[in-house]
Amino acid sequence: MNENSFAHQIGEIILSKKGYDIRILDLRGLTTIADYFVICSADSDVQVKSIADEVDNKLSKNGIKCYHKEGYEALNWVLLDYFDVVVHVFKKDAREYFSLERLWGDAPVETIEDDAAGNK
């Protein structure tokens, strides 16, 4: 699976837990940190944990290991590092404060949405 389809798979998992404002930032050519960031928002610390746990559990079941996790103590911003793809699950206020999309403003951005018809 290439990194782009992997990032989209993560976006679909986030949607299943009602994460919203999901963005995939293509960082290739901009940094060596990762090829993609998948960023989403949640309304509560419980939802942040639920989204992060679901991503980790579903990918784990498919044999994909998370190499580093951060943020489970405060649950304002959980980071899951899959090397080429890094997932950022933010509580809404923390996302606005840290504004990763602005920091990486040169990166092409794709939005993942769940429309009313159930299509993604």
Name the amino acid, one letter, at 21. Answer: D
Asked if 103 and 3 touch (Cβ cutoff 8 Å), the reply is no
Q: What is the mean pLDDT of the chain?
A: 93
Query: How many C-alpha atoms does 57 have within 13 Å on its Cβ side?
Result: 10
pLDDT tens-digit map of 41-53? 999 999 999 999 9
pLDDT band at 117; cut points 50, 70, 90: very low
Total domains, the chain: 1
Does the residue 118 lie in any domain? no
Q: Report the predicted TM-score, pTM, of the whole model to 2 decimal places.
A: 0.92
For the sheet with 85-91, list strands across it: 68-70, 77-82, 85-91, 36-42, 20-26, 109-112
In a domain, 119, yes or no: no
- pLDDT at position 119 is 44
Q: Which domain holds residue 49?
A: 3-112
> Do the domain assignments include residue 62?
yes
Model pLDDT, residue 4: 76
CATH classification at residue 16: 3.30.460.10
Q: Is residue 110 within 8 Å of 12, Cβ to Cβ?
A: no
